[in-house]
Amino acid sequence: MRKLLMHCCCAPCFVYIENDIKINGIKNNDNVLEKVDLTAIWYNPNIHPKVEYERRKNAFIEFCNLKNCKNVILDEYNMNRHIENVVLNVGEGKKFISRCEYCYYMRLKEVFKYASENNFDMVATTLTISPYQNHELIRKVGMKLSKEYNVEYISTDYSPHFREGQKMARELNIYMQKYCGCVFSFDNGKWVY
């Protein structure tokens, strides 16, 4: 059985995916359902503010404990460094065309690095359940990192199950956030804490 490392952006996005993988396996790049040895990984230093970062991390841990799901926490919070890297790397003539592309790359790079160092066969991300994320850009980043780290990237579109996953998370009383997570989406939404 091959080992899958699933990057989790948040617990609500993982609820449906964890259940589906446990029951059916994951659809591999040959479009075949494959049973896998699943480990979830938390790496989201983009989340703002710190209290929100902690809420989401703790909800992820709580859900993994509830479902007896193996998990890894790469606990890093440094908003100043995150914003500095966005400014240095995003824009015309720079490495990334958008903040989101940089954010996908930055998080998935650490996940691929961990996967490579710990003998995982595949990497996937829960970002692909959200209809609000750029799936083609996530796939592009995942495929690039797959070549760099020699770990297969699995791109499964779970977005048709987004609402179902949200309903499942509410039934489990999992913390549900109201914005993407970064300081930019926080300000755009005028969220008040």
- Domain 2-188 = CATH 3.40.190.10: no
Residue 52 vs residue 3, higher pLDDT: 3
Residue 86 has pLDDT above 90, yes or no: no
Cβ-Cβ contacts under 8 Å for 165 (sequence gap 6 or more): 12, 13, 15, 16, 17, 129, 158
62-71, 96-105, 142-151, 158-167: which range is least confident on average? 96-105
Task: Tell me which of 61-75, 77-91, 159-173 is least confident.
Answer: 77-91
Tokens of 71: 């998990």
Structure tokens at 139: 């796939």
What long-range pairs does 95-98 form, CB within 8 A, spacing at least 24?
A: 98/137
pLDDT band at 192 (very low <50, low <70, confident <90, very high): very low
Contact 54, 3 (CB under 8 A): no
Q: What is the DSSP string of 108-152?
A: HHHHHHHHHHTT-SEEEEGGGG-TTS-HHHHHHHHHHHHHHHT-E
Q: What is the pTM of this model?
A: 0.92
